[in-house]
Amino acid sequence: MIRENTVVTRAVVPDVPDEGWDALLDRAVHSGSLHPLEASFARGLPAPRRATFVAGRQALRDALSTVAPVVGASLDAPILRTHRGAPALPSVVTGSVSHKRTLAMAAVAPRGGTLQHIGLDLERRPQGDDLRRPSIARKILTGREYEYVQQWGDDTLAGREHVLVHFALKEAVYKAIDPFVERYVRFTEVELEMAGDGRPQVTLLLPEASVADVRVEAGWQLDGEWIVAWAESHRERRV
């Protein structure tokens, strides 16, 4: 799915009663799956956010442990957050994390060549009950994208799934370009032209000059009950 040197990992989001968190975090620090400062940060979060943060950091550390020896990165520093909320990883790598209520997934890759940043998004595939809720198609799709998904209809599982694929891809793209624009990007500021190989063409419709020379590659796949989408931002090396 993603480039060969990108490591993708996952971790189950822990379902822990309030009184069990101290012991879980202590064990995670002792085992090395969490840095002490990550555990300290987690203790200050509300329980649902704490659970997804812990799973996300464990997935990130697992991925980083594979990539770090290749690029000479240290595993000693905590993976906290940038001012934009992204994982604060060593500068020689790029990475992303996504999580839902029960699962977290992370991707880490060496930064090199034209690669600047990667983005990852995880969405649960629609179920029958989802058809009772209004479609989000009109809110997130451009006119061209809406015409494309209409071949499956608004109120079919196939139609809803194609809308969610667009949603996941756009979320991944936003993460991959956020360091260039550092603002909320509207769904209609990114347009996707879907391809049968799972690698759509991505067009950025943003006004910022900072992305004028940025190229984005993206892809997606179904993974059991999940939609997994990824994106990479590229820029030619400047002399």
Q: Is residue 221 part of a domain?
A: yes
Query: Could you read off the pLDDT of 59-73 as tens digits, one per residue?
Result: 999 999 999 999 998
The answer to whether position 37 is within a domain reads: yes
**Average pLDDT of span 136-148:** 96
For residue 239, tell me if it sits in a domain. Answer: no
Q: Pick from 112, 142, 165: which residue ends a domain?
A: 112
Per-residue pLDDT of 83-129, as tens digits, reads 999 999 999 999 999 999 999 999 999 998 999 999 999 999 999 99
Q: Which residues contact 141 (CB under 8 A, 6 or more apart)?
A: 149, 163, 166, 187, 188
73 lies in the same domain as 127: no
Flag whether 177 is in a domain: yes
Long-range contacts (CB closer than 8 Å, 24 or more residues apart) made by 110-114: 110/5, 110/67, 110/70, 110/71, 111/71, 113/237, 114/215, 114/234, 114/235, 114/236, 114/237
Tokens for 122, please give them: 């995880």
Please identify, among 112, 133, 164, the residue that sits at the C-terminal boundary of a domain: 112
The per-residue pLDDT for range 147-192, each reduced to its tens digit, is 999 999 988 999 999 999 999 999 999 999 999 999 999 999 999 9
Domain around 211: 121-234
Q: Residue for token digits 């990883």?
A: 89
| Mean per-residue pLDDT, 200-211 | 96
At 139, which helix (H) or strand (E)? Answer: helix 137-140
* Total structural domains within the chain: 2
**Residue pair 90/80 in contact by the 8 Å Cβ criterion:** no
Q: Give the predicted TM-score (pTM) of the model.
A: 0.95
Q: What is the pLDDT of residue 239?
A: 44
Q: Domain check: are 154 and 190 in the same one?
A: yes
> Which three-class secondary structure state does DSSP give residue 216?
strand
- The residue among 92, 112, 132 that closes a domain is 112
Q: Across residues 196-209, what is the average pLDDT?
A: 92
Is there a single domain that holds both residue 135 and residue 88? no
| CATH code assigned at 34 | 3.90.470.20
Specify whether 130 is located in the same domain as 227.
Answer: yes
Instruction: Kindly state whether residues 127 and 230 are assigned to the same domain.
Output: yes
Residues 95 and 126 in one domain: no
Whether 11 is covered by a domain: the verdict is: yes
Do 128 and 219 lie in a common domain? yes
Q: Are residues 197 and 219 in the same domain?
A: yes
Q: At what angle do helices 36-43 and 47-71 cross, to 10 degrees?
A: 160
Residue 133 lies in a domain: yes
In-domain check, residue 1: no
Question: Residue 208: what pLDDT?
Answer: 95
List of long-range contacts for 140-147, beta carbons under 8 Å, 24+ apart: 140/166, 140/167, 140/170, 140/187, 140/188, 141/166, 141/187, 141/188, 142/188, 142/191, 144/191, 144/193, 145/191, 145/192
**What does the alpha-carbon distance between residue 34 and residue 57 come to, in Å, rounded to a whole number?**
7
User: Within this chain, do residues 64 and 146 fall inside the same structural domain, yes or no?
Assistant: no
160 and 61, same structural domain?
Answer: no
Looking at the fold, whether 95 and 170 belong to one and the same domain comes out as no
> Is the residue at 2 inside a domain?
no
Is residue 198 very low, low, confident or very high in pLDDT (cuts 50, 70, 90)? confident
Looking at the structure, tell me whether residues 103 and 130 fall in a common domain: no
